[in-house]
Amino acid sequence: SSMQATSDFAQVINFYKTHYNITKVVSFGGSYGGMLTAWMRIRYPQLVDIALAASSPLPMMAKTAKPEQTFFQIVTNDFEMSDEQCPTIVRNGFSKLYRLYHQGSSSFDQITETFKLCSAFNESQFDHLVGWVRNAMLTMAMVDYPYSAEFLGSLPAWPVDAACKIMLNEMTKSNDPMKAIAEAAGLFYNGTNGQKKCFKIYDEFIECADLTGCGTGVEAIAWDWQCCTEFQLATPSNNVTDMFPPLEWNDEIVGKYCKEKYGVSPDPVRVSREYWSADFETASNIIFSNGLLDPWHAGGVLEDVNRRVKAILIEDGAHHLDLRGRDKKDPESVITARKQEVSLIRKWLKRN
């Protein structure tokens, strides 16, 4: 649990402060790590002097704020900024997939061939295939970095632009939107230098309590468990404000899933109760940074709370771009953000 994680970090920090005469500690973290780093400052202000929490949607996690935009709406906006035709291609691609599915087994060979599936498609795989495609699109929006990167997948620079270009090219070539979204999803799962001849969708995508993805392997199980106990990420898609098929995903549905899989029920107020994530007014020395390309930013702290709880917005930033290593392709907005972060940290260290 996050309580265990922060308690463990507290033990480690206390050891080093005691044995190595360390007087100041600055905590950095992105995504879930950003949530932990902010909570470290809140839970252990005697151990952590300053926290930089990047891409950490604490208000949304604690259900103390309702974002103006949904996660899937921001993903759609990212693709639309690349080319206004791309969300329409995605919508039409999903529509064709649904249409072929409802036509029955006579169309299943076409689905198998289009998505390059290693095993023949059958009706039991439909929801998972939709999730597999959706996961590719949203993850590329999350990691829409200005240079090639290996985080969450081997992807080219600006992967949303790359995926959009693939779809546009496919439409020029075949005028088949389903094939277009299949090729775009393939960019994510096969990578820039991928050698896969077919896709094993159950190995590459795991359904879980988090519609935005849990990853794969044991990490997926761990995050799924936390979403069933601590973090509630009920973010539905509607095909109106976003380009994805309508999918209802609420606390009741998540609760049923968690009860059946783990025998537990999510606690809707646990995060706000344990971490005081409803109000940072009396907190201090926390920087919340968010990239506006990152679909998670809508659930974060986007305005200064007080003089010592500051919000930094990065116009061209994806998921915790500011915490990644400096690169010559970094946009000016992240360079400026890092300077602001360093300035605040230096100022607060002097005051402390």
CA-CA distance, 351 to 340, in Å (whole number)?
A: 17
Closest CA to 42 of 55, 54, 53: 53
Closest CA to 167 of 149, 186, 189: 186
- Amino acid identity of residue 282, one-letter, is T
Residue 330 near residue 41, CB atoms below 8 Å: no
Is 320 assigned a catalytic role?
no
Q: How many other CB atoms are there within 10 angstroms of residue 157's CB atom?
A: 15
Q: Which residue in the list 78, 210, 242, 294 is annotated as catalytic?
A: 294
Q: How many other CB atoms are there within 10 angstroms of residue 255's CB atom?
A: 18
Is 319 assigned a catalytic role?
yes
In the numeric block, the tokens 């959706």 are attached to 134
Q: Measured in Å, how far apart are the chain's first and last C-alpha atoms?
A: 31
Is 102 assigned a catalytic role?
no
Q: How many other CB atoms are there within 10 angstroms of residue 199's CB atom?
A: 21
DSSP assignment of 60-122? HHTTS---SS-HHHHHHHHHHHH-TTHHHHHHHHHHHHHHHHHH-GGGHHHHHHHTTBSS---
As given in the structure block, the two tokens for residue 313 are 């917005």
Distances (CA, A) of 94 to 79, 100, 128, 159: 15, 10, 13, 20
- Amino acid identity of residue 151, one-letter, is F
CA-CA distance, 69 to 76, in Å (whole number)?
A: 11
Q: Which residue in the list 2, 27, 31, 289 is annotated as catalytic?
A: 31
Three-state secondary-structure class, residue 312: strand
Q: Which residue in the list 319, 322, 330, 333 is annotated as catalytic?
A: 319
Residue 46 near residue 25, CB atoms below 8 Å: no
- Dihedral sign of CA atoms 199, 202, 205, 207 in order: positive
Task: Give the catalytic positions in this structure.
Answer: 31, 294, 319
